[in-house]
Structures are given as C-alpha cells and as structure tokens.
Amino acid sequence: MDPLVRVNVEARVATIRLNDPPRNRITLPMATALHGAATEVTTRGDVRSVVLWGGERTFSAGGNVQVMSEQSPETMRPILAALGDAVSALEAVPKVVIAAIDGLCLGGGCEIALAADFRYAGKTARLGQPEIRFGIIPGAGATQRLQRLVGRSKAKELIYSGRWINAAEALSVGIVDHVVESGGAYPAALEAAVRYARAPAAEIAAAKAAIHAQDAGAAELLDVERDLLCGLFGTDDQRENMRAFLQK
C-alpha cells in the first residue's frame, strides 16, 4: 500500500507529497504521516529545501465531513492535535518550504499550505477556510497564520464567510506569492526550491528563526483555537450543517 505521505529527495530538494487521491482528505493517519515527513526533512542533511505538493488536481480538500459529523469534542481532539502538531512542525522546518497548489486547497489543507514560507498556485486553484459553513471554525492554525499574511480584517472576512477564493484573489490579498498556469504549480515551486537549495543552509535557518521570533507565544494561541473548535462539536449547528452537507 502506498504511504499517505511520500518524501522524495532529488538534488537536495525534498518533495513532500500528500498521497490520498482524489481529495487528499485530512485524517488522523494523514496528519501523523505528515508530521513524520516534516521531521524527516528537518533532520536529513541532504535536504536543503522542501516542496509541499498534493498532485496535479488537488492539494487537499480538507477534513472528511462524514467522519467529522460523528465526532464529539473528546474524539475530535486527538485528530486536531495531530494535524496542528504536523502543521507546526512544517512551519518550524529550518529550510525553505514552498507549497505547490493546484485544484482545491481548503480547510485543513489550506492550513497546511499556510505553514509554508511561500505558496505557488495554478490559475484554477481554489483556496479557503469553509469550516464555518459546517458549524465549526478552523483548528490547525488558520486563525493565527492567515491574519499574519492578509491582516486581521481580511482574515475575519474569509473565515466568517467561509468562502472559497480563486488564485487571482489569493494573490491580490497575499495568501499566495505566485500564480502560474494550471498544472504548473509544482514545476514552478520546484524551480524556486532548487535555487534556495544553493543558498547557505545555516544562514537560511538563522534568517527563518529570526523572522519567526515575532511569533513567540503562538503555541498558546493555537491551543486556544483548538479548544474553541473542540467545543463546537456536538452543538446543534455543527450537527445540522454537516448533516445537510452530506445529504447534498
């Protein structure tokens, strides 16, 4: 059986490939595998930069609503903790990390992409945090990382509405850094990763650590986000909205 997350290294660039087609749904095993991949690329001396990729058609469509609809706060917490820890591990990789986004990049999938240093998107990519439509909120860092990229007001608008945005809008508000032809996100991200792989490793790691130093205390804020999300499971809105989605 193919692993849910593949790591391939070539010319000092690691590709972390989400590998549960067609949607790359976020599950506990997927999150655990992603954490392992982040640890691997962090510790491998032959890796100097990283590309996160979900394939030509979908980065990740987020969590499995069928599974989430059956969860309680107690049973959902381990899943959220695993995904949150995986995303934080990706953000902490002391090397340049670039997300290559084609197709859907939603919910937990978008939160994975937000952990990268840069995001390259194909023209037909769609990004968003649609959780509020299901009676919940993001729980793997979007409430914090999104506002750092786009500002508090825009982050509120995107999270409160739950709407999807196209690549052009994502570029205009600062969620993605480059928009390329459809299907071209991975080649473009890989080309950039190769350039970064030539840079001095210690200096990149030091610069990244210095830039991220402003996020001191972020772990506590992420815990608040996770606790608030867990508290929404089992509410009438969560059950009704997820049930309505599944019936469609």
193 CB-contact burial (10 Å; exposed 0-12 / middle 13-18 / buried 19+):
buried
pLDDT of residue 217: 67
User: What's the pLDDT band for 241 if we cut at 50, 70, 90?
Assistant: confident
pLDDT for residue 210: 92
How many alpha carbons lie under 13 Å from residue 96 in its C-beta half-sphere? Answer: 23
40, 70, 91, 111: which is the annotated catalytic residue?
Answer: 111
More confidently predicted of 90 and 237: 90
- pTM, whole model, 2 decimals? 0.92
Burial of 15 (0-12, 13-18, 19+ CB in 10 A): buried
Domain 5-197 fold is 2-enoyl-CoA Hydratase; Chain A, domain 1 (3.90.226)
User: Exactly one of 10, 40, 91, 131 is catalytic; which is it?
Assistant: 131
The Cβ of residue 13 has, within 10 Å, a number of other Cβ atoms equal to 26
Gap between the Cα atoms of 64 and 59, Å rounded: 14
Contact 65, 27 (CB under 8 A): no
Confidence of residue 216 (pLDDT cuts 50, 70, 90): low
What is the domain partition of the chain in residue ranges? 5-197
Provide the pLDDT for residue 52: 98
The question of whether 111 is a catalytic residue gets the answer yes
Q: Measured between alpha carbons, how far is 245 from 131 in angstroms, rounded to an integer? A: 12
Q: Is 203 a catalytic residue?
A: no
More confident residue, 226 or 87: 87
Go through 75-95 and write b for each residue having 16 or more CB atoms within 10 A of its CB, e for each that does not. Answer: ebbebbbbbbbbbbbbbebbb
CA–CA distance, 79 with 55 (Å, rounded to integer): 23
For residues 111 and 11, what is the distance between their CA atoms, to the nearest angstrom?
Answer: 28
Question: How many angstroms separate the CA atoms of 161 and 155, rounded?
Answer: 10
